[in-house]
Copies of this chain bind each other. A is one copy, B any other.
Amino acid sequence: MAESAASADADPLYREAVVDLLGAIAYGEISAFERLAEDAKLAPSLADKVDLATMASGELTKVHALHDRLRALGADPFEAMAPFREPLDEFHRHTAPADWHEGLVKAYVGDGLANDFYREIAAYLDPETRDLVVSSMEEGSHATFVVDRVRAAIADDSRLGGRLALWGRRLMGEALTQAQRVAADRDALTALLAGGVDRPGLDLAAMGRMFTRLTERHMARMGELGLDA
């Protein structure tokens, strides 16, 4: 642990980027907990409520390992999370689900998008940080219960499918808006993707391909839910 912290210390800009990244993921999980716990209130049955509450708890239990790693890097976890509160809170404010099905689609799409992003960024990290980031997405499989519920609901009500397809597009649009805002504000994090003296990075064309991949996977997820992307 001390050794790996030292490896991030060797390059101050890389360390800054890792602190940003872990802070962003940690606050993302806290805010996901809050929103999923809130959306669980819309559940039509106690079994549905337990499923969404389980997703909420899964998010929160991962926060502590991220905070421990931030402390090992000499950072204060709450300072590290601070720059990401406004963009993530804003995302959730703009995407408050109007009903249970919007909440389910948001949980599934949001979880999937976060996991895809972690997978993309993992390639640019030192092994310890990479393991931690990858473990932050391991419990995402809980989200699969959503597929059955959404598919059953749109089979019963075809107009619901149209509304949820629009909703999925809005979620992706808001996520990209806030991601661009973060990219513009956080130079170190952006530089991590762009590479360093002894680290390969992404040029603009490669960055474009990454966004294309994220968008394609989002569309595939919408397809799994039975929705037009």
A interface residues, Cβ below 8 angstroms from B: 30, 33-34, 37-38, 40-41, 45-47, 49-50, 53-54, 56-57, 60-61, 63-64, 78, 81, 85
**CA of A38 to CA of B56 in the docked complex: distance in angstroms?**
13
Which residue from chain B places its CB closest to the CB of A59 in the assembled complex?
B57
Known interface pairs A37-B38, A37-B56, A46-B85; 17 further A-B residue pairs with C-beta atoms within 8 A, sorted by A's residue number: A30-B46, A30-B50, A33-B37, A33-B53, A34-B40, A34-B53, A37-B53, A46-B78, A46-B81, A50-B60, A54-B60, A54-B63, A54-B64, A56-B57, A56-B60, A57-B60, A61-B61
Interface SS majority for chain A:
helix
**CA of A7 to CA of B65 in the docked complex: distance in angstroms?**
40
Which residue from chain B places its CB closest to the CB of A33 in the assembled complex?
B53
A53 and B30 within 8 A (CB): yes
Q: CB-CB < 8 A to A53: which residues of B?
A: 30, 33-34, 37, 60
**CA of A220 to CA of B191 in the docked complex: distance in angstroms?**
55
**A63 CB, min distance to chain B CBs, angstroms:** 6
**A17 CB, min distance to chain B CBs, angstroms:** 22
**A199 CB, min distance to chain B CBs, angstroms:** 32
**A29 CB, min distance to chain B CBs, angstroms:** 10
Of B30, B45, B49, B63, the residue contacting A30 (CB under 8 A) is B49
Q: CB-CB < 8 A to A50: which residues of B?
A: 30, 60, 63
**A145 CB, min distance to chain B CBs, angstroms:** 13
Q: CB-CB < 8 A to A49: which residues of B?
A: 30
